[in-house]
Amino acid sequence: MSYREDQGRMARMFAFWSLVFIALFGCTFLFDLLFNNVESLRRPLMDRPLPLVRVEATGAFLISTVVFLGLALLIWRWQNKRRVADFLIDTEHELRKVTWPTVQDVINSSTVVVICVLILMAFLAFTDWFLGRLFQNILLG
């Protein structure tokens, strides 16, 4: 059972799955590292692939799977600590108070930003070209 499990569900879920995805990425890197560098972890431990996942049961796969499951459990336990859970609950409550912009506001703001960037880019390109020509004429005659 988790601490105040009925509150902050969306923030907790987002935090949990984000950290699990990072752990999965790390464990795939660990698998590649073990599989490519340790000869004894490359050999299959069974004659057939594992059912349902159809993956060869190598030592590298089993080690990286155990590490991943351990990390997922640690993430879940860490997330249910009182301080972390309260922080995520408060974060979700604050996000519910935010006034989000409409689609038209986002389009208008993005258009203004793109136009300003293009104008600034043109100004800097012209200034670079002009100063390059100027100093070339001054230095080289």
Contact, 10 vs 83, CB < 8 A? no
Domains of the chain: which residue ranges?
A: 1-98, 100-141
pLDDT tens sequence for the chain (141 residues): 566 767 788 888 999 999 999 999 999 999 999 999 988 888 888 777 777 777 788 889 999 999 999 999 999 999 989 899 899 989 989 988 999 899 999 999 999 999 999 999 999 999 999 999 999 999 887
Rounded Cα distance between 139 and 123, Å, is 24
Instruction: Note the residue count of the chain.
Output: 141
Q: pTM for this one? A: 0.66
